[in-house]
Amino acid sequence: MPALEHLRAACAAWQELDAPYELAQSRVLIALVYRLLGDDDGAQLELEAAQDTFEKLGAAPAAAQAAALTAPASAQASPRAGTGLTGREIEVLRLVATGAKNRTIAGRLRISEKTVARHVSNIFTKLDLSSRAAATAYAYRHKLI
């Protein structure tokens, strides 16, 4: 796949330039390509490496975003118990907790911004929350990210 070849070349360049943040960003993109190709193990390894780099650099939002992507599908479904949230709402909540805006969430999940807004509204209603900050606190408190 040409995209994967270009991303690997980018990783090599960032590594040669000693640019760890950009290298980690490229690894996240490689992980997403691996997921599209059905290589969940490869995706997991790339995401964990990126998350580790972000954490070492003190880039908390990027680390949280990588962590949200790192959780396997089985782990993503389990936190639903007791929340009343659907699987998709859990995904949206995790991304909201990383600081992602609706447009970014829509792009990542391949749904419309209007659908994201509806999910956010449902999350607020179901969990009796009034803001994205409260949703983020809820997600951290309940170990959803």
Q: Return the structure tokens found at 118.
A: 């509806």
When divided into structural domains, the chain yields a total of 2
- Let me know whether 45 and 97 are in one domain: no
Kindly state whether residue 66 falls inside one of the protein's structural domains: no
Name residue, tokens 């408190």.
141
pTM of the model: 0.52
Q: What are phi and psi of 37, to 5 degrees?
A: -85, -5
Res. 124: pLDDT tops 80: yes
- Let me know whether 13 and 50 are in one domain: yes
141 closest CA partner among 133, 53, 76, 59: 133
- Let me know whether 81 and 38 are in one domain: no
Kindly state whether residue 65 falls inside one of the protein's structural domains: no
Average pLDDT over residues 16-26: 94
Neighbours of 66 (CB within 10 A): 26
Kindly state whether residue 15 falls inside one of the protein's structural domains: yes
Q: Considering only 78-92, 100-114, 118-132, which range has the smallest mean pLDDT?
A: 78-92
Name residue, tokens 């980690």.
24
Provide the residue range defining the domain that includes 95. 74-141
- Let me know whether 80 and 103 are in one domain: yes
Question: What CATH number corresponds to the domain at position 111?
Answer: 1.10.10.10
Kindly state whether residue 118 falls inside one of the protein's structural domains: yes
- Let me know whether 46 and 93 are in one domain: no
Kindly state whether residue 126 falls inside one of the protein's structural domains: yes
Which long-range CB contacts under 8 A does 114-122 form with residues at least 24 apart?
116/92, 119/88, 119/89, 119/92, 120/92, 120/96, 122/85, 122/89
Residue range 62-96, pLDDT digits in tens: 888 888 887 654 444 445 555 688 888 888 999 99
Kindly state whether residue 64 falls inside one of the protein's structural domains: no
Residue 126 to residues 89, 104, 123, 136, 137, Cα–Cα distance (Å): 10, 23, 5, 15, 15
